[in-house]
Amino acid sequence: MSRKLIVGNWKMNGSLASNDALVRELLEGIGQPACDVALCPPGIYVAQLQNLLAGSPIELGVQNVSMNENGAYTGDVSAEMLKDYGVRYAIVGHSERRQHQAENDVHVALKAKRALAAGITPIVCVGETLRERESGMTEFIVKRQLSAVIHLNGHCISEIVVAYEPVWAIGTGQTATPLQAQNVHAVLRAQIKAATEHADRVRILYGGSMNAANAGELLSQPDIDGGLIGGASLKSADFLKIIAAARA
């Protein structure tokens, strides 16, 4: 497996001033990281981050992309538009969008397809709710969600990143144990291997409240290739500690 990947998802947080301060602190402390790093700010700040990150080891990502190529889709931003700003990664199918914007597996698969066509790597999020976990449906849910993306994108599947984000552990302070996370990552790894002979290219991130305290143990698991970081990515010291823990 290649270098690990640490992605900061700022969600709906930030301002011109706070973004500038946070990025400068990160760039002062990051040095030459032993992993790949990306930041996904709110869409309105993509141009600002493009300028702040230019020439740095941190790549630019976004939190969403339209499933449509162009046209009368008010409020949407296409993958080709994001490409103009040097966007490298696009989060698709985050549980918060599945919940609040009623995105389904087909929408997520289409968004991944648009991103791939523009040369942007989609970070495909999958994960189960607490009720689904307690009902023993975790494997069924994550495989179904990923299957939709595999089915629509075929041979391109080796170019995606997958993020396992147990919904019950997002922003709750709860975290899957390293063994729980590893077990689901292993299921996803097997599913990807069945779909492509280039499965070793696909990095699978853990995205459920990874923080500076638990990152090392989670990232030491054999099938966890990085992290999709929420709240901790808004604190430079914590984010830098997670980056430091992500050694291949």
Per-residue pLDDT of 45-54, as tens digits, reads: 999 999 999 9
* Catalytic-residue membership of 94: yes
Number of structural domains the chain divides into: 1
Q: Is 56 annotated as a binding residue?
A: no
CA distance 7 to 207: 9
Q: Which one is catalytic: 94, 96, 159, 185?
A: 94
What phi-psi label fits residue 123: left (phi over 0), alpha (psi between -120 and 50 degrees) or beta?
beta
Q: Which one is catalytic: 59, 128, 159, 165?
A: 165
pTM of the complete model beyond 0.85: yes
Residue 170 pLDDT exceeds 80:
no
Q: Is 171 annotated as a binding residue?
A: yes
Q: Is 10 annotated as a binding residue?
A: yes
For residue 83, the enclosing domain spans 5-245
Greatest pairwise CA separation for the chain in angstroms = 48
- pLDDT tens digits along 203-242: 999 998 899 999 999 999 999 999 999 999 999 999 999 9
What CATH number does the domain containing 232 carry?
A: 3.20.20.70
With both helix axes pointing from N to C terminus, report the angle between 46-53 and 16-30 in degrees, rounded to the nearest 10.
Answer: 30
Burial call 27-63: b when 16+ CB within 10 Å, e when fewer: beebeebebbbbbbbbbebbebbeebbeeeebbbbbb
Q: Is 14 annotated as a binding residue?
A: no
